[in-house]
Amino acid sequence: MNWAVAHRIAGIAAAQAHRDLGIDRTRYVPVHQALKRAELVGMAQPMPRLFGVYVSPADNGPAILLNANLNIVTQRHTAAHELGHHQLGHRSAADDDLSPALRWGNGSWPDEEKTAEAFAAWFLMPRPAVLAGLDRICQGRPTSPEHVYRLARELGTSYTGTVRQMQNLRLLEADRARQWAKIPPAALRSSLVGGAALPANAHVHVVTATSHLQQVHAGVGDVLIVHEDEASFVSLPNGLVRWTDAGQAAEAVVVTDEFCGPAGLEVSTSGLDEPVQLTVLRDAPRAGVHDVWPD
């Protein structure tokens, strides 16, 4: 099976899973919540060489095991991959290679791994969610890799994976997708904050007028920066602290460990009569058993 066929199979399966599990296809997909709805027993614990494990019903499942040491983006992708094994009726499987090159496929993957990997992309990045995000970010016309990075932050996905999915959706030409996939995300993060030094491993979430009534899924150390003229925070929830490294020209906050979320955040700008209203949610890798995982 080639990757094109795997994506066709996975795209159909992901759409069916969205329907069966009651997932809103126009926004960020809560994959850990989806695992619960699919009645998969879930557990996350530190594992040196594993992304995740799927246990099929034939082996006393269905259940999944996730690596609690993964960052939230990688763990979300892994969870979707393991859910793909389940939705596609696969045998038990262990994903045990941490090489990013192999993670995205080198042409030699078994068919079941190809379709599960493709399922993860289609499940986390359905076309309606991608189009809605691009409409807010760039009026539906991505002209820079920063646009794709911002979309990845809205969807809770990796930058490279989002580039690849946009190519699958025929929203990026193959040549441009190859060029943009080579750009280090760190360079894009730096670009979005005007070259300021960022906290280690921080993601950057851009706030504009079109962010009104949207949700921001952020982790500790992440930065929310406003790209609007004469912007100011109306008030700051506990745990969101002004990020002064952005300079006087930009309003920005950093998420600290004191932030529990969800919490409302309001930003006033010179061009709007009413403040931009956001809901900020704290996101972090899951650990322990699924009964204690936040939705």
**pLDDT per position as a tens digit, 146-166:** 999 999 999 999 999 999 999
The domain defined by 197-282 carries CATH number 1.20.120 = no
Q: Same CATH topology for 3-120 and 197-282? A: no
- Domain coordinates of the chain in residue numbers? 3-120, 127-183, 197-282
Report whether 52 contacts 35 (CB < 8 A): no
Three-state DSSP state, 234: strand
**pLDDT value for 102:** 47
Which of 294, 289, 293, 295 is closest to 45 using CA atoms? Answer: 289
Q: How many CB atoms lie within 10 A of CB 41?
A: 16
Looking at residue 179, what is its pLDDT? Answer: 97
Per the omega criterion (within 30 degrees of 0), is the bond before 30 cis?
A: no
Residue 106: what pLDDT?
53
What pLDDT does 247 receive? 62
161-201 pLDDT, tens digit per residue, is 999 999 999 999 999 999 999 999 999 999 999 888 898 88
pLDDT beneath 50, residues of the chain:
98-105
Tokens of 19: 């329907």
Under CATH, to which class is 3-120 assigned? mainly alpha
What's the length of the chain? 295
What is the rounded distance in angstroms from the CA atom of residue 12 to the CA atom of residue 15?
5
The whole-angstrom separation of Cα 65 and Cα 227 is 40
Cα–Cα distance measured from residue 168 to residue 170, given in angstroms and rounded to the nearest whole number? 5
DSSP per-residue codes, 179-202: HHHTS-HHHHHHHHTTTPPPPTT-
CA distances from 38 to 2, 26, 44, 208 (A): 28, 20, 17, 35
**pLDDT value at residue 98:** 45
- CA torsion through residues 131, 133, 135, 139, sign: negative
